[in-house]
């Protein structure tokens, strides 16, 4: 895998790049094609602004991911030196958290940020407070309902089943509330928004509707949820953006101040924004707004990202300067021919209902011909997997490094059989696209101990710990009262470290689950050595008995080091570490000596010498819904997925499918081969 910075370090000057770096006085929309050196173009524009006497503290750069913001920060500092430290660079959420906390500095303790698990727990608590136990008829009808939607089974206790139903539906409503906020639909009439979607997601909700007013139930649950957050002085992930947007559009003094502070605003990966983020942008100083992106690479619909804000940018801003960056510095011409075919298909889709002055991109290479492309059709998935194994072995025999190879698919489970085959051949492999380390149970357990140590008297922090300790839902209230009494007796005497150690001792004394004791040991060790974390040499912590612990240590150190890099000289606080873990989990560096199996989403923004895209057939690269039909938006996103996958390749691109390919490939001028069973995939001739 080649970092983008290596490939794009020295761009060949183009008219588009010159216009991008020099234009002043009106908004810029830069349509930056895949491999066009977008990051380097942003760095060059920042350098040009500083050279023209724009103070660095007047620049605000916002990105879609922390990985992108870190890359930009490093590249800008290399280019402009110390001045780069005064530029505000961060994700939308990171900048929003800082602004919200600054706004609330005079109103008491700064709010802490709930991660997704904490938010769902709070939703459950909100619904627990609603007196909505089912009538007697619930027990009578429960068995019949279960038989209709599940295999025959003995019906559970009605009250326990009702509680688990509330928990499940609470999780659905948490997701629907997030969808409502990120579509910038406001906070009113939540029940009207959520219930129709809830009924589509859950047959249980339909059963509940016989005796319960779901709209009123959802609205009351939201009211309780908001009250609990206020009482506990916390914000969830979506609140950070919603509160900032509200301040920008309803607090004139704050808006005027931030307009004076940030005179130039740059948005990276603009195609990945959602409607709420676009609402935030409109509240900033847009006189010198610069947005950079490629609507053909918008593939995060599950995060509420939509390409429309970029496609329709000219409708919201005056005197827009249109710039196209279409010189591709990555791929050979043969690969670009395939990419341009898919790109044209996508552009035809989005332009049917959006008249945009954006020029249609046609990627133009600088490396000439000599690339290898092929499309292979198989009779079944077993044949395809064996062929993929042979492709890896053949490339390695030809001298390719394992790190030069990647096999992409839409979902990680599609690659699971191939992973087994590769490991059986002792081929080193790494998987991208499954649960990250920061989403693992062990890391969540560690974070739970850190949170309750920081705020030991807060019920929401205690809930996961209680589940961890007792392995179920029993006696949470009783356990919390016992813990809270113990904390109150020690307040002002033992301090933070005493609280942590008491927590660890309490878990051991109560003979709780091994996982609880293990997490307590990790946290106690980590806090005991916190000074080593903060010191410049970042000495390693001494819990190495398991590889997972080593990985957790590395991830925590990475988070802490990034905080120090972003705030030079400022003391490192545990509250900030926990907020960062909740807001944007860390990722570990991948190994450079392994073949990569990855989802297409995880590979975006990266490149490899040799790329194979597996499962390019209907039902795998595309998902059928609603009786085999997909919506217009889903069809567009599936086309974009294929485009992103193809544009990862530098030297060779192979597309494989079982039976007929996806519709986006059927008209592609690329000869299809039908390998016989167990036949090696040879390198195609350029």
Taking alpha carbons only, the member of 413, 395, 415 closest to residue 405 is 395
**Sorting pLDDT into bands at 50, 70 and 90, what band is 288?**
very high
Per-residue CA distances from 113 to 91, 275, 305, 366, 461 (Å)? 15, 22, 22, 46, 12
pLDDT tens digits, 73-83: 999 999 999 99
Q: How far apart are CA 406 and CA 404, in angstroms?
A: 7
- What is the DSSP secondary structure assignment for residue 405, as one 8-state letter? E
Lowest mean pLDDT among 152-156, 336-340, 461-465: 152-156
- Which residues constitute the domain of residue 466? 438-587
- Kindly give, in sequence order, each residue whose CB lies less than 8 Å from that of residue 255, ignoring residues fewer than 6 positions away: 247, 248, 249, 283
In a domain, 4, yes or no: no
3-state SS, one letter per residue, for 476-541 = HHHHHHHHHHHHHHHCCCCHHHHHHHHHHHHHHHCCCCHHHHHHHHHHHHHHHCHHHHHCCCCCCC
pLDDT tens digits, 335-387: 999 999 988 877 776 655 445 556 678 899 999 999 899 999 998 888 898 89
Same-domain status, 583 and 486: yes
Examine the pLDDT at 678 and tell me if it is beyond 50: no
Q: Three-class SS of residue 143?
A: helix
pLDDT tens digits, 475-510: 445 445 444 444 444 344 344 445 455 555 554 554
Same-domain status, 160 and 177: yes
Beta-strand runs (E) in 47-143:
59-63, 88-91, 112-113
Boundary residue ending a domain (587, 602, 631): 587
Residue 72: predicted pLDDT: 93
Same-domain status, 603 and 626: yes
In a domain, 581, yes or no: yes
Same-domain status, 212 and 260: no
In a domain, 320, yes or no: yes
Beta-strand runs (E) in 509-623:
595-599, 608-613
Q: Residue 471, annotated ligand binder? A: no
649 neighbors 367 (Cβ within 8 angstroms): no
Average pLDDT estimate for 307-318: 89
**Sorting pLDDT into bands at 50, 70 and 90, what band is 659?**
confident
Same-domain status, 212 and 255: no
Q: Residue 37, annotated ligand binder? A: yes
Same-domain status, 86 and 150: no
Residue 490: predicted pLDDT: 39
Average pLDDT estimate for 182-211: 72
Same-domain status, 462 and 520: yes
Q: How far apart are CA 454 and CA 461, in angstroms?
A: 9
Q: Residue 33, annotated ligand binder? A: yes
Residue 496: predicted pLDDT: 42
Same-domain status, 463 and 487: yes
In a domain, 100, yes or no: yes
Same-domain status, 535 and 460: yes
In a domain, 1, yes or no: no
In a domain, 198, yes or no: yes
Boundary residue ending a domain (565, 587, 609): 587
Same-domain status, 455 and 522: yes
Same-domain status, 25 and 138: no
> Domains in the chain: how many in total?
4
pLDDT tens digits, 533-580: 333 222 232 222 334 445 555 556 656 666 666 667 666 565 666 666
In a domain, 554, yes or no: yes
Boundary residue ending a domain (304, 325, 346): 325
Q: Residue 36, annotated ligand binder? A: yes
pLDDT tens digits, 244-276: 999 999 999 999 999 999 999 999 999 999 999
Residue 79 belongs to domain with CATH number: 3.40.50.300
Residue 317: predicted pLDDT: 92
Q: What is the overall mean pLDDT for the chain?
A: 75
Phi, psi of 546 (to 5 degrees): -135, 145
Q: How far is CA 269 from the centre of its chain?
A: 13
Beta-strand runs (E) in 620-671:
649-658
Strand partners, 290: 28, 266
Same-domain status, 39 and 188: no
Taking alpha carbons only, the member of 129, 95, 93 closest to residue 114 is 93
In a domain, 366, yes or no: no
pTM over 0.95, yes/no: no
pLDDT tens digits, 409-449: 998 878 878 887 887 788 888 888 654 445 555 566 566 66
């Amino acid at each position: 895998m080649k970092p983008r910075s290596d490939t794009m370090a020295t761009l060949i000057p183009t008219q588009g790049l010159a216009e991008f770096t020099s234009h002043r006085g009106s908004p810029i929309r830069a349509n930056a094609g895949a491999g066009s050196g977008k990051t380097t173009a942003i760095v060059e524009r920042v350098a040009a602004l500083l050279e023209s006497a724009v103070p660095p503290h007047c620049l605000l750069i916002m990105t879609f991911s922390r990985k992108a913001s870190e890359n930009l920060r490093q590249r800008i500092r290399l280019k402009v030196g110390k001045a780069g430290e005064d530029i505000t660079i961060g994700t939308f959420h990171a900048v929003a958290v800082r602004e919200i906390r600054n706004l609330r500095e005079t109103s008491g303790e700064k709010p802490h940020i709930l991660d997704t698990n904490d938010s769902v727990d709070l939703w459950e608590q909100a619904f627990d407070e609603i007196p909505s136990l089912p009538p007697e008829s619930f027990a009578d009808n429960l068995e019949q309902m279960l038989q209709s939607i599940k295999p025959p089974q003995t019906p559970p206790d009605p009250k326990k089943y009702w509680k688990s139903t509330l928990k499940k539906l609470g999780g659905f409503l948490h997701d629907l509330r997030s969808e409502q906020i990120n579509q910038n639909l406001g906070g009113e009439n939540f029940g009207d928004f959520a219930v129709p979607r809830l009924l589509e997601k859950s047959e249980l909700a339909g059963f509940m509707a016989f005796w319960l007013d779901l709209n009123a139930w959802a609205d009351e649950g939201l009211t309780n949820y908001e009250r609990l957050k206020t009482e506990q002085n916390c914000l969830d992930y979506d609140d950070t953006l919603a509160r900032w947007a509200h301040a920008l559009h309803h607090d004139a003094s704050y808006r005027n101040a931030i307009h004076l502070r940030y005179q130039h605003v740059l948005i990276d990966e603009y195609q990945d924004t959602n409607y709420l983020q676009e609402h935030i942008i409109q509240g900033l100083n847009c006189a010198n707004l610069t947005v950079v992106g490629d609507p053909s690479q918008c593939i995060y619909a599950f995060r509420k990202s939509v390409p429309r804000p970029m496609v329709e940018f000219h409708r919201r801003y005056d005197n827009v300067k249109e710039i196209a960056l279409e010189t591709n510095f990555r791929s050979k011409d043969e690969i670009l021919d395939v990419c341009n075919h898919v790109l044209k298909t996508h552009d035809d889709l989005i332009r049917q209902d959006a008249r945009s002055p954006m020029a249609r991109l046609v990627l133009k290479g600088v490396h000439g011909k000599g690339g290898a492309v092929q499309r292979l059709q198989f009779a079944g998935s077993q044949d395809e997997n064996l062929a993929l194994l042979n492709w890896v072995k053949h490339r390695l025999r030809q001298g390719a490094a394992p790190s030069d190879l990647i096999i992409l698919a839409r979902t990680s489970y599609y690659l699971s059989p191939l992973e087994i085959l590769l490991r059986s051949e002792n081929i080193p492999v790494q998987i991208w696209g499954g649960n990250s380390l920061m989403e693992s149970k062990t890391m969540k357990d560690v974070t739970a101990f850190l949170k309750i140590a920081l705020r030991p008297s807060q019920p929401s922090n205690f809930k996961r710990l209680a589940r961890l300790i007792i392995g179920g839902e029993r006696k949470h209230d009783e356990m919390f009262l016992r813990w809270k009494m113990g904390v109150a007796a020690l307040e002002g005497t033992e301090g933070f470290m005493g609280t942590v150690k008491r927590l660890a001792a309490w878990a051991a004394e109560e003979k709780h689950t091994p996982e609880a004791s293990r997490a307590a040991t990790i946290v106690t060790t980590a806090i005991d050595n916190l000074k080593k974390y903060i010191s410049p040499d970042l000495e390693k912590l001494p819990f190495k008995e398991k590889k997972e612990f080593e990985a957790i240590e590395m991830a925590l150190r990475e988070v802490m080091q990034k905080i120090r890099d972003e705030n030079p000289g400022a003391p490192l606080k545990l509250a900030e570490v926990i907020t960062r873990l909740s807001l944007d989990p860390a990722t570990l560096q991948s190994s450079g000596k392994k073949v990569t199996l990855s989802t297409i989403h995880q590979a975006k923004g990266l490149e490899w010498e040799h790329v194979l895209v597996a499962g390019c057939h209907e039902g795998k690269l595309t998902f059928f819904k609603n009786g085999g039909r997909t919506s217009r938006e889903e069809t567009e996103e599936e086309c974009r997925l294929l485009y992103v996958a193809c544009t990862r390749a530098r030297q060779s691109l192979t597309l494989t499918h079982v039976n007929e390919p996806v519709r986006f490939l059927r008209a592609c001028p690329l000869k299809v081969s039908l390998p016989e069973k167990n036949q090696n995939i040879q390198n195609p001739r350029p």
